[in-house]
A and B are shown apart, each in its own frame.
Chain A
Amino acid sequence: SAVISQKPSRDICQRGTSLTIQCQVDSQVTMMFWYRQQPGQSLTLIATANQGSEATYESGFVIDKFPISRPNLTFSTLTVSNMSPEDSSIYLCSVTGLAGFTDTQYFGPGTRLTVL
């Protein structure tokens, strides 16, 4: 497996502001994804982070609200823009395509976001 880190681990933000979450993997991976987990709920896929091109968003998620970057094979960022209390969630990055574990999906520790 890989070591996947996320920064920050948690944050409390004011409504109307933006927060950028970083995801760093210690080895190159094929695919990187961003998920949201609202309180008491399961995980919902936000988007696939594509290296060097625009992310692929799932239904209900748009680039203006959740801009994503992936400049290389080990790093991605998710920005939560113009936040409202409804954005309070855990945001998780995940990866697949690790050498020897191509189909297995591994997750970072998550970023717990509270919007006041």
Chain B
Amino acid sequence: SQQGEEDPQALSIQEGENATMNCSYKTSINNLQWYRQNSGRGLVHLILIRSNEREKHSGRLRVTLDTSKKSSSLLITASRAADTASYFCATDAWGYKYIFGTGTRLKVLA
């Protein structure tokens, strides 16, 4: 079963614009992770944010976490064509194992 729901399911933007993806989950967590997947290949780990953190940055990526709303967002600034991929959130709602959200397919148009 899916722990998280992501929206939008698909997003198409122009190069240079910002892309925001949201993840909502159902139960309390310790950590939330974001991943990128290009064309059905392996998953690349982007950011881990802990439940006591509200925001983290990594390069052009900004992740926020609102535990009261059980939601997280991933912002990609100044997007590039190479950012075209599927993005997934994953939460450790049951302790040691991570359950994945439904994913957002991002397309960045050059």
Contact = CB atoms under 8 A, between A and B. Distances in A.
Interface size class for chain B?
Answer: 20 to 34
Contacts of A42: 2, 88, 100-103
Nearest to A35: B100
B42 A92 contact: yes
Interface string B60-81: 0000000000000000000000
B96 A96 contact: yes
Given A45-B99, A96-B96, A109 B42 contact: yes
Contact of A103 (B35, B40, B48, B103): B48
A92 to B, nearest CB: 7
Interface string A78-94: 00000000000010101
Given A42-B88, A42-B102, A43-B100, A110 B41 contact: yes
A67 B62 CA distance: 39
A39 B39 CA distance: 11
Given A42-B88, A59-B1, A1 B97 contact: no
Given A42-B103, A44-B100, A104-B48, 7 more contacts: A33-B97, A43-B90, A45-B99, A92-B43, A106-B45, A110-B40, A112-B40
Interface of B: 1-2, 30-31, 33, 35, 40-43, 45, 48, 50, 88, 90, 92, 96-103
8 contacts: A31-B96, A31-B97, A35-B100, A42-B101, A43-B43, A43-B88, A59-B1, A103-B50
Interface of A: 1, 31, 33, 35, 37, 39, 42-45, 48, 59, 90, 92, 94, 96, 103-110, 112
